[in-house]
């Protein structure tokens, strides 16, 4: 039997929705349920106290808003999925390429052309530096080579190492850690080390598309400084 105040609680709940019902029911099911309850409500209304037309119109407007939001959310979800698929496809073209990214290591290995071992890395300077010092450390943290270059301009400075230590010995191939410090007029300035890494694969998730690199790091494409 209808409530003497107008629309029943069950009808209001259906129109306004709840967190559980909105996830369990589709938009069409919500609309169908609303219409059935509304028709039942009108059939069983008290002739001496009929339903308020303004209230019914207001509730119908609320239902329209809810269903509109659900449709918009569904469209946004589909759009995001499509964008991620497109980004993943574009990013997959980088698999096998070498990229320059923020990193604190370099890999010493024999070059294909000369056969001699070499390691390459870079340092990014936001401002120019009178002196740039790079320490190369082995897996135990010991400094095996110190490189110093002067009069470096702001930007990315690409550097190389032939694999020989400060004591003149040839060091084994493998991954080494790099640390950089820079000074201008005896004042320390920022110096960010960059690594050359190979893109091994691409993955997608709730945090977007990421590139999986040869140093086991995962980065977004906006972190790439250069592509080779």
Q: Quick: pLDDT tens for 31-82.
A: 677 667 666 766 666 565 655 666 666 666 666 676 667 777 777 676 666 6
Contact assessment for residue 80 and residue 95, using Cβ atoms and an 8 Å cutoff: no
Contact assessment for residue 215 and residue 121, using Cβ atoms and an 8 Å cutoff: no
Q: Three-state SS for 180?
A: strand
The predicted structure's pLDDT at residue 41: 66
pTM of the model: 0.62
Planar angle of CA 195, 100, 216, nearest 5 degrees: 60
Longest dimension (CA), the chain: 105
Q: What is the pLDDT of residues 113-144, one digit of tens each?
A: 667 899 999 999 999 999 999 999 999 999 99
How many Å is the Cα radius of gyration of the chain? 33
Q: What is the pLDDT of residues 183-192, one digit of tens each?
A: 999 899 999 9
Compute the average pLDDT of residues 10-31.
52
């Amino acid at each position: 039997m209808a409530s003497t105040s107008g629309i029943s609680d069950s009808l209001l709940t259906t129109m306004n929705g709840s967190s559980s019902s909105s996830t369990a029911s589709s938009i069409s099911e919500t609309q169908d349920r609303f219409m059935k309850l509304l028709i039942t409500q009108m059939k069983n209304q008290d002739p001496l106290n009929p339903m308020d037309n303004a209230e019914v119109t207001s509730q119908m407007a609320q239902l329209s808003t809810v269903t509109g939001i659900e449709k918009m959310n569904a469209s946004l979800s589909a759009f995001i999925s499509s964008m991620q698929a497109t980004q993943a496809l574009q990013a997959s073209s980088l698999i096998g390429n070498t990229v320059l990214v923020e990193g604190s290591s370099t890999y010493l290995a024999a070059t294909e052309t000369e056969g001699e071992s070499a390691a390459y890395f870079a340092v990014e300077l936001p401002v120019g530096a009178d002196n740039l010092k790079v320490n190369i450390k082995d897996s135990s943290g010991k400094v095996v080579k110190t490189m110093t270059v002067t009069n470096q301009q702001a930007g990315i400075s690409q550097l190389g190492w032939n694999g020989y230590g400060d004591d003149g010995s040839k060091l084994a191939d493998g991954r080494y850690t790099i640390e950089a410090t820079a000074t201008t007029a005896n004042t320390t300035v920022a110096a960010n080390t960059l690594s050359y890494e190979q893109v091994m694969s691409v993955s997608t998730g709730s945090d977007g598309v990421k590139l999986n690199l040869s140093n086991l790091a995962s980065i977004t494409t906006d972190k790439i400084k250069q592509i080779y």
